[in-house]
Structure 1
Amino acid sequence: MTIALIAHDSKKVDMVGFVRDHIDFFKEHNIKLIATGTTGTYLEKAGLEIEKMLSGPLGGDAQIASRMVEGKVDMIIFFRDPLGKHPHEVDVSMLMRLCDVHNIPLATNPAAGLRFVQSLEHEMKEQ
Structure 2
Amino acid sequence: MNISLIAHDEKKEDMLEFVSRYKHIFERHTLYATGTTGKRITEETGLPVHRFLSGPLGGDQQIGSKIAEGNMDLVIFLRDPLTSQPHEPDVTALIRLCDVHHIPVATNIGSAEVFVKSLK
TM-score class, shorter-chain normalisation, is over 0.9
Counterpart check, 1:70 vs 2:69 = yes
Q: Report the 3-state secondary structure (helix = DSSP H, G, I; strand = E; otherwise coil) of the residue aligned with 1:68.
A: helix
Size of the aligned set, in residue pairs, is: 119
Q: Distance in 1 between matches of 2:78 and 2:21?
A: 15
Q: Distance in 1 between matches of 2:39 and 2:31?
A: 13
Q: TM-score, normalised by structure 1?
A: 0.91
How large is the RMSD of aligned CA atoms in angstroms?
0.8
CA shift, 1:112, in A, is 0.5
Give the unaligned 5+ runs of structure 1. 122-127
Structure 2 residue aligned with 1:26 = 26
Give the unaligned 5+ runs of structure 2. none
In the TM superposition, 1:104-119 aligns within 5 A as: 104-119=103-118
Q: Distance in 2 between matches of 1:112 and 1:35?
A: 18
CA shift, 1:2, in A, is 0.5
Q: Distance in 1 between matches of 2:111 and 2:23?
A: 17
Paired amino acid for 2:43: K
Q: TM-score, normalised by structure 2?
A: 0.96
Structure 2 residue aligned with 1:125 = none
In the TM superposition, 1:70-89 aligns within 5 A as: 70-89=69-88
Moved over 2 A (4+): none
Structure 2 residue aligned with 1:8 = 8
CA shift, 1:48, in A, is 2.4
Q: Distance in 2 between matches of 1:26 and 1:48?
A: 8
Q: Distance in 1 between matches of 2:41 and 2:118?
A: 23
Q: Distance in 2 between matches of 1:107 and 1:26?
A: 15
Q: Which of the two has higher C-alpha Rg?
A: 1
Q: Report the 3-state secondary structure (helix = DSSP H, G, I; strand = E; otherwise coil) of the residue aligned with 1:78.
A: strand
